[in-house]
Amino acid sequence: MTEKRQLANKLKEWAKSEIFSKTSVPLGMPFFIRLDGWRFRELSERIGAEKPFDKKFAQCLVNSGKALFEKGFSPTLIYIASDELNILFDGKAPFSGRVEKVDSVLPSLISSAFSVQLQEHFGKKVAVAFDSRIIPMLNHQKIVEYLAWRQTNAWRNHNNAYAYWLLRKMGFKPSEIAKKLKGMKTEELHEMLFKHGVNLAKTPQWQRRGILLYKKPYQKMVTDRSVTRWGIEENWDLPLFSSEEGAKLIQQIIEWIKQKENPIVKEREKARNRGII
């Protein structure tokens, strides 16, 4: 064996040593990629965000999520709550579902987009990061259940955030607050906040239930015919995903995307847009 061939074989061995290079989500299986903001409580203080929730901060997350649509990744939907984005792919998976690529490119893109958004809305140049994990879904019912779980978590975070910042204003240290909240029952937390003028059931709905991004079809008149267009919808007034209304919304979004990706429907839309039919 020549020296050049030996070197080539050694280089191939290095390629094989990459731990997750062959790991992929099973073909055709829906999955979420959940991105969680890294040290966002500290970040919110650095940029001077309103406490406990800042609508500008939430809009930065929403606009960052839109970057995925704009870059051609075509997620089915993106559920945004607190400091996380839950991105559903049900159909064509980016990078053929390769975990190594999905778990690196998507959080990188969201991180860079979010940094730009913070500079535009808060006038601060900051480096941000999101961690990332992939959660496979066995069927569409599991998608609804997953979203209901994350929405329940958003409600819990919402309650704790209001309690945390109330106690901060009262002079408690972060370590003291952590101990106090850990031993506090939900009813006690609600009562404490209510005594200080905060009704957790009356806060803005997006704070309690999160925000949903998805593509929605609409009709547009072009010359003398109606054509189908797709626009990105921002839903800041969500139902509970655990309710019938919430489940129907998720199912409708999934059906829209299936319709959009159907090759026969695509050809019909192209023909209609050209005025053939």
Sketch the domain layout of the chain as residue ranges. 31-208, 209-273
Q: What is the pLDDT of residue 3?
A: 78
CA distances from 145 to 2, 56, 105, 211, 246 (A): 59, 29, 27, 17, 11
For the chain, the average pLDDT equals: 91
Looking at the structure, give the CATH architecture of the domain made up of residues 31-208: 2-Layer Sandwich (3.30)
pLDDT digits over 50-93, tens only? 999 999 999 999 999 999 999 999 999 999 999 999 999 998 89
Lowest mean pLDDT among 136-150, 177-191, 219-233, 262-276: 262-276
Please give the Cα distance from 187 to 207 (Å, whole number). Answer: 19
Write out the DSSP string of 43-91: HHHHHT--SS--HHHHHHHHHHHHHHHHTT---SEEEEETTEEEEEE-S
Looking at residue 266, its pLDDT comes to 54
pLDDT tens for each residue of 230-254: 999 999 999 999 999 999 999 999 9
Residue with tokens 């929605």: 216
- Rounded to whole angstroms, what are the CA distances from 81 to 17, 41, 84, 122, 240? 37, 14, 6, 20, 13
Structure tokens belonging to residue 201: 């059931």
Q: Indicate the DSSP class of residue 252.
A: H
pLDDT > 90 in the chain, percent: 73
Give the Å distances, CA to CA, from 249 to 65, 77, 118.
Answer: 19, 11, 30
- pLDDT reported for residue 126: 96
Q: Give every CB contact of residue 126 below 8 A, 6+ residues apart in sequence.
A: 43, 46, 47, 115, 118, 119
- Segment 32-45 shows an average pLDDT of 96
pTM of the predicted structure, to 2 decimals: 0.89
Give 222's strand partners.
225
pLDDT tens per residue, range 124-143? 999 999 999 999 999 999 99
- Whole-number pLDDT of residue 14: 75
Per-residue confidence at 267, pLDDT binned at 50, 70, 90?
A: low
